[in-house]
Structure formats: C-alpha cells, structure tokens
Amino acid sequence: MKRFLDLFNSFLEKIGMLFLLLMLLIVSTQVFARLTIKTTPIWSQEVATMLMVWFGFLGMAIGVNEKIHIAITFFTDRLPVIWKRMIFTIDEFLILFFGIAIVWYGSRLVYATRTSTLPATQWPAYMPYLMVPIAGAMIVLCTLINIADLIKFDSKDRLQKWGFNDDKH
C-alpha cells in the first residue's frame, strides 16, 4: 500500500507542477496582454485562480504524505520515546480528523455549487472546489498509513522516519 501511495504521490507532484506551469503561463499572458493590447482574456483570471486553489490543496495533501508540514520539535526532541510516540499518534489522529472534515465539507461545497456556472468560462461552479474533497481523501489515506506505521514502529528506518535519533533511545 505504501508503494502505491508513493507512486500516487509522485503523480500528484507532477500534476502540481503542471498546475504551477499553467498558472505561470496564464498570468504572464494576462499581464502581457494588459500592458500591450490593453485587454486581457476574459477567462484568464478565473482559470488562474482555480489552478492556484487546486495547487494549494494538492500541496497540502502532498505535505501530509511527506511529513513536511510545520512542526515545532523543541520540546518533543527532549522527551522519552514513549512520550514522543504518544504525541505523534495524537498528532496523526488530529490530522485524520482534519482530513475527514475537509472531505465532508468539501463534498458539501461541491454538491451545493453543482447547478451554478462560473461567469467567465461557463464551467460548472464546483470546479474550483473539486480539489478540496480529493485532497481531504488523500490526507485521510496518508494519515491512516502513518497511524499503521506508528503502530508497527519497530525498525530503525521507521524510527528515523518519525524523527527519533539513535542516541535518544
């Protein structure tokens, strides 16, 4: 399962790079058109904003999987292993709850906007919000795997993955 998740995460990173490249091209075109021909494509702001939202939520899901979210470890680094493990487990359950909330409320938002359309592109109005439940589902999946990893917690590579140095055991 972890192997599949890593491949899926790599795929999501490539999608994120594509979103970033498209945003760069659209916004550059928009600025160039505004400065040279004094008008911009009517759809550019809407699409660039949607890509930015998608990129942000996608990045959040990737960050949870790679454990690169913000953490202050000043106090936890000084705790015994058993306390660290307990704190990390509580942390993962809080992230799990957050992911479930994102799936729930993001799905409700997508459902609520299903009948509207965006003004410039005439795309369905749920398009900017579609990435919210997808990112939430990815967070839930990654967190469940992290919790299972914490339960196993037996090998040296798992200890190092969770930030336990050999000299603190």
Task: Name the token pair of 83.
Answer: 């306390």
- 136: pLDDT confidence band, cut at 50, 70 and 90? very high
| CA distances to 3, 23, 104, 157 from 47, in Å | 33, 8, 25, 42
Query: Domain boundaries in the chain?
Result: 2-168
Q: Give the pLDDT confidence of 21-35 residue by residue, as tens digits.
A: 999 999 999 999 999
Instruction: At 124, give phi and psi (nearest 5°).
Output: -60, 140
Q: What does pLDDT average to over the chain? A: 86
Model-wide pTM > 0.85? no
Beta bridge mates, 124? 117
Q: Give the pLDDT confidence of 104-130 residue by residue, as tens digits.
A: 999 999 999 999 999 988 999 999 899
Task: Name the token pair of 14.
Answer: 């490539």
- Assess whether pLDDT exceeds 90 at residue 161: no
3 state SS of 73: coil
Look at residues 17, 5, 14 and name the one whose alpha carbon lies nearest to residue 138.
Answer: 5
- Assess whether pLDDT exceeds 50 at residue 3: yes
> What gap in Å lies between CA 77 and CA 165, rounded to an integer?
9
